[in-house]
Amino acid sequence: MKNWLKSIFKPNECSLLPLAEEFRNFYGHYQGILRVRGKLLDLLTADTPGNGRVFIDLAGQLIDLLGKLFDQKVPQLFKAYASIREAQTRGEVETIFRSTFEDLDLSQCRQVMPDSFGRGNHDTLPGLLDYAHDLAVEEMFCLMDLYDLKKIKATPVQTGLPIKLHVIDLGGGVCASNNKMVLKDEILSDPVQALFQGMYYPGISWSGPIGVNLKGFMVIMAQSSSRPEEDFWDKTYLLAAKEYMNFNSRLGYHYTSVASYLSDDSLNNHIRFMLKGGAADDLRRARRARFIGLVLERLDFEVDVHKDLIEARLNNADRAVIENRLDLIGRLMGCSRQRDMVMNNESTVNWYAEAFLKGNYAFETDR
């Protein structure tokens, strides 16, 4: 579970008010990792004499940037950087990469990786470079865990939805303006625009009743009485760059995060999705999680579901695929709202998944 979710139940000491520049620095390290990884992969396919030293220098840059992205909390990366600077051959670099990643201690980082994370081919240099990229993606996904979200200074966005969206521009993500509020159409980030396509899709409802039965209604009332009204519609935070977004939403009784990189280079493109919680009891929240998990699996995501927690990943897809999946995630977030309240038996899991995939976003039974 993301650390910012844990803090809801056990608050940590408040962090200092972060500056937008701090987020931009982390994003700069991430962009550097993407560039260096691309150059290393190009060198692996080009059998040009004399590029060994260039390869070693780039490998050192990759490890250095990864260490900065992890905020210098992974000591093995220090040792690896020093070792690579002394390396003489590509083979030595490969050995250093393999031994470093096999023993990597991420306990001081922002998130424990899911069980399925990193299951790939680490027997080759391209596989090891992919693993380094995945580490960077996961760390960027948890970037806001660095701070107490309630102390983040961000610009409100006029959405027309019951979402208190606030944005921080990482560079090129928002139209330059001195206004105290950003309009939805002034957000220039490509992945955000793709997500908005789904969130504003005709027929997707973000408010109003969904036909909750008496038992479900009583559960909602019980939960509402234990939470302050202003806490129910908490702020949603968005980090936005032209090709990147990190969307963290607390809507009602559940928490959602979506992070994505969207470009013309499929090698860098990805989506990370996480959802936890709900207004119903544990069993029905778990059913809703499995319904969403089934949908995402059909959309080619790698999915981990544990009780009411869903973590899903999609890597290395073309621009059109990423745009389509973000659109569908936007629709899924809206139409799955409070659906756990009406998932009264196991048969609803498959029924809701099939209904969504057929475009029945209102989940009408007579279609």
Would you kindly state where each structural domain of the chain is located, as residue ranges? 16-145, 154-357
- pLDDT value at position 213? 53
- pLDDT value at position 96? 94
H, E, C per residue of 184-251: HHHECCHHHHHHHHHHCCCCCCCCCCCCCCHHHHHHHHHHHHCCCHHHHCCEEEEEEECCEEEEEEEE
Residue type, 221: M
What span, in angstroms and rounded, lies between the C-alpha atoms of 295 and 109?
A: 30
Whether pLDDT at 293 is above 90: yes
65 and 36 in contact (C-beta within 8 Å)?
yes
How does pLDDT run across 326-362, given as a tens digit for each residue? 999 999 999 988 888 889 899 999 999 999 999 999 9
C-alpha distances (whole Å) from 293 to each of 103, 125, 244 are 31, 32, 24
User: Mean pLDDT across the chain, nearest whole number?
Assistant: 85
Q: Phi and psi (nearest 5°) for 172?
A: 80, 5
- pLDDT value at position 218? 55
Q: How far is CA 304 from the centre of its chain?
A: 14
- pLDDT value at position 318? 98
Q: Is 354 buried (19+), middle (13-18) or exposed (0-12) by CB count in 10 A?
A: middle
270 and 137 in contact (C-beta within 8 Å)?
yes
Q: Is 186 buried (19+), middle (13-18) or exposed (0-12) by CB count in 10 A?
A: middle
How does pLDDT run across 87-100, given as a tens digit for each residue? 999 999 999 999 99
Task: Please list the residues that pair with 259 across neighbouring strands.
Answer: 246, 272
The encoded tokens of residue 47 equal: 């059998």
Nearest alpha-carbon partner for 298 in 335, 337, 266, 324: 324
What span, in angstroms and rounded, lies between the C-alpha atoms of 33 and 218?
A: 50
**Position 4 confidence tier, pLDDT thresholds 50, 70, 90:** very low
Q: Is 313 buried (19+), middle (13-18) or exposed (0-12) by CB count in 10 A?
A: buried
105 and 74 in contact (C-beta within 8 Å)?
yes
Helix or strand (DSSP H, E) at 226: none
- pLDDT value at position 216? 53
Q: What number is the average pLDDT over the span 138-154? A: 82
C-alpha distances (whole Å) from 122 to each of 75, 267, 313 are 21, 17, 19
- pLDDT value at position 105? 76
Reduced to 3 states (helix: H, G, I; strand: E, B; else coil), residue 355 is helix
**Position 176 confidence tier, pLDDT thresholds 50, 70, 90:** confident
Helix or strand (DSSP H, E) at 245: strand 244-251
Reduced to 3 states (helix: H, G, I; strand: E, B; else coil), residue 321 is helix
